[in-house]
Amino acid sequence: MTDLPDPKDVLPHRDPFLFIDEVLELVPGESARARWTLRPDTPFLAGHFPGEPIMPGVIIVEALAQTGALAALSTDDGKGKLALFAGVDKCRFKRPVRPGDVLEFETRVTRVRGPIGEAEAVAKVGDEVACQAILKFAIVDRDQVGAS
């Protein structure tokens, strides 16, 4: 695919909960690669941890999920739907991520059965792995997640 989308054109996420600046590669329904720079003024860094800012691991996993959602929601069947977490397996954190680090996220869908799928995901800073995990997801219609 030569024309890469703006993440906001595919994902429902918005600031302050959009953790992708740029889509680097996209094969709809199969894989995605994206980039995000952890800026020193990112709000959660003020409390995690004062004087020693480190990106929370759960946010790295969320960014990986957003990257996977790019692949899943870029298909004709995925347009207008939501990708929800169904589980996280074999998650490992290998290095801290600090302000100024540029993260590259890669996800590859490995299995889909109906609306449920699984993807291998890795986050890197340069050549170093920061996090890797198996992500499980569900693709649902937006009206399935209505407010009660």
**137 three-class SS:** strand
Is 13 part of the annotated catalytic residue set? no
Contact 47/89 with Cβ under 8 angstroms?
no
Cα separation of the two ends of the chain: 39
Look at residues 96, 101, 122, 129 and name the one whose alpha carbon lies nearest to residue 37.
101
- 23, 32 in Cβ contact below 8 A? yes
Helix (H) or strand (E) holding 106: strand 102-113
Q: Which of 13, 35, 48, 95 is catalytic?
A: 48
Active site members: 48
